[in-house]
Amino acid sequence: MITKRRKFKEADFQRWATKKTSDYGRQLHEKQKARFTYGVMEKQFRRYYDKALKSQGSTGEIILQLLERRLDNVVYRLGLASSRHHARQMVVHRKITVNGQLVDIPSYIVVKDEVIKPKKIEDFQIYEAETPKWLAFDKKTKEGKVITLPIRDEMPLDINEQLIVEYYSR
């Protein structure tokens, strides 16, 4: 038995293939993008949102600020690790000190004037990374310091924090 195949015009197929994303879909995508960028699980991300909601200022900006100030992210930003995953592993394996104390918690939030450096300087290589303005890094001693809190201009531009706030405020 021979059946006829229906011939589709190119325009028909494009119309089916490109659906408009809903508001909820865009909000979810933005939240997931932030979560996967920083390597944070959903429950922890929700806690960051709740913490940002209770504090003074723009909720979305504070969420990004909290994510940027995580110890694993700071190690990555200083150029001591090739990726955030690598930085997280270094923190968990007790290779990083904060103010001379070993810290093995990747979600540790660094504050102003804290000094971050490797436990053994000779074990580390410096990866090419542009150090943000809110951090200072000495390449000889491989020591980083938090100068100020990060502001929105110094954070990743590809994350729309307003959509994240809209997602959680449903």
Q: Where does residue 102 rank: exposed (0-12), middle (13-18), buried (19+ CB within 10 A)? A: exposed
Per residue in 41-64, pLDDT (tens digit) is: 999 999 999 999 999 989 999 999
Is 16 within the bounds of a domain? no
Q: What is the pLDDT of residue 16?
A: 61
Q: What is the pLDDT of residue 95?
A: 92
Residue type, position 133, single letter: K
Give tens-digit pLDDT for 92-133: 999 999 999 999 999 999 999 999 989 988 777 888 778 888
Is 10 contained in some domain? no
pLDDT at 123: 73
Q: Which of 143, 99, 105 is nearest to 124 (CA)?
A: 143
Q: Is residue 1 part of a domain?
A: no
Give residue 13's pLDDT.
Answer: 60
Query: Whole-number mean pLDDT of the chain?
Result: 88
Residues 6 or more apart whose CB falls under 8 angstroms from that of 159 comprise 30, 33, 34, 37, 64
Instruction: Look at residue 51 and give its three-state secondary structure.
Output: helix
pLDDT > 90: percent of the chain: 60
The closest of 149, 147, 121, 151 to 136, measured between CA atoms, is 147
List the domain range (segments joined by +) for residue 36: 23-168
The domain total for the chain is: 1
Residue 58 inside a domain? The answer is yes
- State the pLDDT at residue 63: 94
Q: For residue 11, what pLDDT is reported?
A: 62
Distance CA 80, CA 118 (A): 8
pLDDT at 131: 87
Nearest of 126, 127, 101 to residue 115 by alpha carbon: 101
Whether 5 is covered by a domain: the verdict is no
Is the residue at 15 inside a domain? no
- Using the predicted structure, report yes or no on whether residue 153 has a pLDDT greater than 80: yes
**For the chain, how many helices (H) and strands (E)?**
7, 5
What pLDDT does 48 receive? 95
Top pLDDT among 123 and 84 is at 84
102 inside domain:
yes
In this structure, is residue 17 part of a structural domain? no
Inform me whether the pLDDT recorded for 74 exceeds 70: yes
Average pLDDT over residues 24-33: 93
Q: Which residue has the tokens 């909290």?
A: 66
Q: Highest mean pLDDT range out of 2-16, 89-103, 150-164?
A: 89-103
The answer to whether residues 21 and 29 touch, using CB atoms and an 8 Å cutoff, is yes
CATH number at residue 59: 3.10.290.10
